[in-house]
Amino acid sequence: MRDFVNDVFQTLASGPDPTLGLCLICDLVAMILGPHQVPEWRTTFMYMAPAIAIVIAADYYLDARRRIGLVPRITQRLHQAEGSRT
């Protein structure tokens, strides 16, 4: 459980670029498909991969919503700055 929480934090800490999270998913898929001696680990990896994918998708969606709200504020500030110069 501690490793799962660590992986989720690493996924969120990578910011709007999902590269680290996608690398984690690729690693987990490789461990799922590779040879294994303990079946419980394979099951754990099978649950971790979709959970991290959900975190990546949610982070991407929320970041897109932030960017959409941010653009009008930036243009409004630019227009105010141009208006104060004249």
Do 21 and 14 form a contact (C-beta atoms < 8 A)?
Answer: yes
pLDDT confidence of residue 35: 87
Query: pTM score, two decimals?
Result: 0.57
Q: Give the number of domains in the chain.
A: 1
Domain that holds residue 63: 2-85
Cα–Cα distance, 72 to 19 (Å, whole number): 28
Q: What is the pLDDT of residue 67?
A: 61
* 78, two tokens: 């630019």
Q: What is the pLDDT along the chain (86 residues), one digit of tens a residue?
A: 667 677 666 666 656 667 777 888 888 888 889 888 888 988 988 998 898 888 888 877 777 666 665 556 666 666 677 666 65
- Whether the CB-CB separation of 30 and 44 falls below 8 Å is answered with no
